[in-house]
Structure 1
Amino acid sequence: MNHWLVKSEPSAYSWDDFVNEKRTFWNGVRNFQARNNLKAMKEGDLVFFYHSVNNPAVVGIAKVVREFYQDPTTDDANWVVVDLEPYQVLKHPVSLQKIKETPELQNIALIRQSRLSVMPLKKEEFDLILAMSE
């Protein structure tokens, strides 16, 4: 199993929106590195849901329930989506500030490539963020 983080501005699509819908396809990715990360996602992978911009924080966990396919919002074959379902709300959101203050997380893409919207995490990084939410 692989681990990931996806970012969304809560004013555009929040964790609450996601939970209410119960399932979504993760669309709007228009960066080739992020697209390649979507293509690498496998059914069953766990994905942190991160609210960006205002009060940036990891707020929940999603699960990949369908691997990549053509983004239905565009005819451009370069872009793909995956289907996600809510898996678990975090007990306490893990803020970007807390992540930045944690030495073991200094090399994650959230810090190094702050504009990347879909990124991989090592299992140890995922587990550490999850532990920080307790």
Structure 2
Amino acid sequence: MRYWLFKSEPSTWGWPDQVAKGDAGEEWDGVRNYQARNYMREMTLGDRGFFYHSQKERAVVGIVEICAEAHPDSTTDDERWDCVDIKAVRRFERPVTLQQIKSDPLLAEMPLVKSPRLSVQPVSAEQWQVICAMGQTDPE
């Protein structure tokens, strides 16, 4: 299993929206960055990801799971763009803020810290465990 981070503006698509989609999940569509698209192409069923609220909140608020591997993004006819489907697994008991992440030396190499604009990012297994512990949330 691999781990990822999905950034979303909560005013556009927030954690409650994701939860409302249930086990069917929802396309993570509209991504128009080649690196983020390439990461989605690497994802496999059952991989887990952090659901991160950007903008004002800037915090990991939940865990999602890949429920459909990379396929054409339904929001465009341009064949270059793929997306995955994700479903909500559980909310974080305590959201973990970007400030908390930046203050932990174990997380200094995270793309969230080094390349904050990227909307889909890899997360190492160690980083996954650290952030779940910070959020008092079961990592499984």
TM-score for both structures, normalised by structure 1: 0.98
Displacement, 1:110? Answer: 0.3
Q: Given residue 91 of structure 1, which amino acid in structure 2 is its aligned partner? A: E
Q: Given residue 10 of structure 1, which amino acid in structure 2 is its aligned partner? A: P
Which of these residues, 57, 60, 63, is aligned with residue 61 of structure 1? 63
Secondary structure (helix, strand or coil) at the match of 1:53 reads coil
Displacement, 1:121? Answer: 0.6
Instruction: State the partner residue of 1:11.
Output: 11
The separation in 2 between residues aligned to 1:118 and 1:36, in whole angstroms, is 9
Q: How many residues align?
A: 134
Matched, 1:94 2:96: yes
Percent of aligned pairs with the same amino acid: 45
TM-score for both structures, normalised by structure 2: 0.94
Instruction: State the partner residue of 1:117.
Output: 119
The separation in 2 between residues aligned to 1:115 and 1:56, in whole angstroms, is 12
Q: Given residue 6 of structure 1, which amino acid in structure 2 is its aligned partner? A: F
Unaligned runs of 5+ residues in structure 2 are: none
Unaligned runs of 5+ residues in structure 1 are: none
Which of these residues, 50, 53, 76, is aligned with residue 51 of structure 1? 53
- Structure 1 runs (4+) deviating above 4 angstroms are none
Matched, 1:41 2:51: no
- 18-27 or 92-101: bigger deviation: 18-27
The separation in 2 between residues aligned to 1:55 and 1:27, in whole angstroms, is 22
1:4-62 Cα deviation digits (max 9, x unpaired): 00000000000011111221010010000000001011000001000001110000000
Q: Given residue 97 of structure 1, which amino acid in structure 2 is its aligned partner? A: Q
The separation in 1 between residues aligned to 2:57 and 2:68, in whole angstroms, is 30
